[in-house]
Amino acid sequence: MTTEFRLAIGAALRQDRVRGNIRRAMDGLVTKRREAFPDPQERESLRDEGAAIRAESVARLPELLEELERTCTGNGIQVHWAETGADANQIVLGILRAAGANAILKGKSMVSEEMGLNEFLQRQGIEALETDLGEIIIQLAHEAPSHIIAPAIHKDRAEVAALFRKHFPDQPPAQQIEELTALARTVMRERFRGMTAGLSGVNFAVAETGTLCLVENEGNGRLCTTLPDVHIAVMGIEKVVARLDQVPTLLTLLTRSATGQPITTYVNMISGPRRAGEKDGPTAVHLILLDNGRSRIHADPELSATLRCIRCAACMNHCPVYARLGGHAYGTVYPGPIGSILEPQLQGLAVRGEMAEASSLCGACAEVCPVRIPIPRLLNRLRYEAVSTRAASPTLGHGSRRLVVQSGIWRLWSWTCAHPRAYRALTRLLGLLRRLQPTRLPPWTDTREAPRLAPESLHRQARAAGFSDRA
């Protein structure tokens, strides 16, 4: 069956320019990560520490979220709970209406992409203005992010220059990266003036102190969170950590794994609205905690490891499948290996179960994950859940990809393997009929040669060589 996902893969493989851009970008990020961890022993020690911190955060999630709400409220941050993306959008809209805002500055936030916030606000007559350079580029191009830390990584310099010429014809033409960055800065500086509300994501929220940690390189995030009177922070509930002293380890892992940087240019620690005597900062800070299926993931002891993710994208940068397809082929907010375990759980296996099959299971993603998420094992678990009829499974859409014929074949094969006489008879029969074996088994043989059955089974060859079943 040719599904929408498979059609998108076929289209992606025909885009040579995009594939070249992504390949070069991935190679650069892989090299930078390798250079950022020159000492393997230190790297593995950091990964152990990071995995332990995130495992603790996930294990204590309900308790830490309650503590986070108490400490944030104590700091003057208004905390909101959203069960779905639609709920979160309505909360944002209510805050903007109360503030009299008809536009909002946006720092980079994958959760807002998950909510479909920009499209929702547009329908309400409110402009959502992206401020991260990569997000600006894809907003101008009317595209979705193709990578979770570098949204426009699929575009090259010439494409960005052409895009800027089209949208900013009154500005001096720019060609070089420095010129393009300066042009974006000039345009955006004007838009920052007089804005009432700003929105950001959250990298980590500290339950102990009620602190929202946000890292970035361009300064736009700091402008979004300090210039407007109202700051709205949106985060998935899994971003909470227990203590402030856990954040340096996670930041070290995040920045080195993502871009090879020892630390980002800006590290923002937001602990409340502007206080008496302070000269800048918002007068109101809102924190929206989005569930959107994460509680369901948390309920499964094995699959809950998905929630450890710190969104560094190292798994994407090292994934041979992502490097050849790019993010748009997945058709989801979160692409690549982490998307292939997260999206089927958020949206259900009936909708996104095919993503778990888009992996070679080479294990590169698990080898580089800074918090040791066992992605290949979880992919296999989701593949099992997709065809399982286990009634107790908390995974949305479990069993939805079960095919009666396929299930019957595997049952027959299982029975045959458990009965030696039947197995020997079957393999001998197949060996005799090997000339009738089809040479084409589409779509598998579209890119491979069909394997040929041996004239004699390995078992018969071993016996002929003198090996005994009873040895």
What secondary structure does DSSP assign to 401-433, as a single string?
A: T--HHHHHHHHHHHHHHT-HHHHHHHHHHHHHT
Burial of 357 (0-12, 13-18, 19+ CB in 10 A): middle
CATH of domain 37-292: 3.40.50.10420
Q: What is the pLDDT of residues 53-104, one digit of tens each?
A: 999 999 999 999 999 999 999 999 999 999 999 999 999 999 999 999 999 9
Angle at 246 between CA 241 and CA 248, to 5 degrees: 120
Q: Are the CB atoms for 239 and 203 separated by under 8 Å?
A: yes
CB environment 1-40: b (16+ within 10 A), e (fewer) = eeeebeeebeebeebeebbebbeebbeebbebbeebbeee
DSSP 55: H
CA–CA gap between residue 438 and residue 287 (Å, rounded): 60
Predicted confidence (pLDDT) per residue in 309-347, tens digit:
999 999 999 999 999 999 999 999 999 999 999 999 999
Residues above pLDDT 90, as percent of the chain: 80
Identity of the amino acid at 432 = L
Determine the Cα–Cα distance for residues 289 and 64; give it in Å rounded to an integer.
12
Among residues 322, 308, 300, the alpha carbon closest in space to that of 369 is found at 308
Tell whether the model's pLDDT for residue 469 goes beyond 90. Answer: no
List the 266-270 sheet strands across, edge first: 240-241, 204-206, 211-216, 266-270
Average pLDDT, the chain: 94
Residue indicated by tokens 């080195």: 256
Query: How crowded is the C-beta side of 115, counted as CA atoms within 13 Å?
Result: 28
Helices (H), 271-363: 294-298, 314-317, 320-325, 336-347, 349-352
Look at residues 46, 29, 116 and name the one whose alpha carbon lies nearest to residue 313: 29
Among candidates 230, 295, 237, which has minimal Cα distance to 92?
A: 230
pLDDT band at 428 (very low <50, low <70, confident <90, very high): confident
CB–CB of 8/328 below 8 Å?
Answer: yes
State the sign of the Cα–Cα–Cα–Cα dihedral 12, 13, 17, 22.
Answer: positive
List the alpha helices (DSSP H) in 278-335: 294-298, 314-317, 320-325
Look up residue 186 and give its two tokens: 């000039």
Q: What is the largest CA-CA distance in the chain?
A: 91
Mean predicted confidence (pLDDT) in 27-40 = 96
Q: Is the dihedral of CA 196, 222, 290, 209 positive or negative?
A: negative
pLDDT, tens digit (0-9, with 9 covering 90-100), for 101-111: 999 999 999 99
Q: Please name the residues in contact with 141: beta carbons below 8 A apart, sequence gap of 6 or more.
A: 152, 155, 163
Q: What pLDDT is stored for residue 189 in this prediction?
A: 85
Are residues 180 and 161 in contact, defined by beta-carbon separation less than 8 angstroms?
Answer: yes
pLDDT above 60 (res 1): no
Residue-wise pLDDT tens digits, 189-233: 888 888 999 999 999 999 999 999 999 999 999 999 999 999 999
| CA–CA separation, 130 and 122 (whole Å) | 13
- pLDDT tens-place string over residues 114-142: 999 999 999 999 999 999 999 999 999 99
> Span 276-304, mean pLDDT?
96
Q: Which pair of structure tokens corresponds to residue 157?
A: 């310099």
Q: Which residues belong to CATH 3.40.50.10420 in the chain?
A: 37-292
- CA-closest candidate to residue 346, choices 113, 55, 103, 70: 113
Cα dihedral across residues 139, 142, 146, 152: positive or negative: negative
Note the pLDDT of residue 444: 78
By three-state DSSP, how is residue 196 classified?
coil
Query: Are 53 and 247 in contact, with CB atoms under 8 Å apart?
Result: no
Mean pLDDT of 286-303: 97
Confidence check: pLDDT of 471 > 60 = no
Say how many Å lie between the first and final Cα of the chain, rounded. 47
Residue 192 has a pLDDT of: 86
The pairing of beta strand 103-106 with beta strand 204-206:
unpaired
pTM over 0.85? The answer is yes
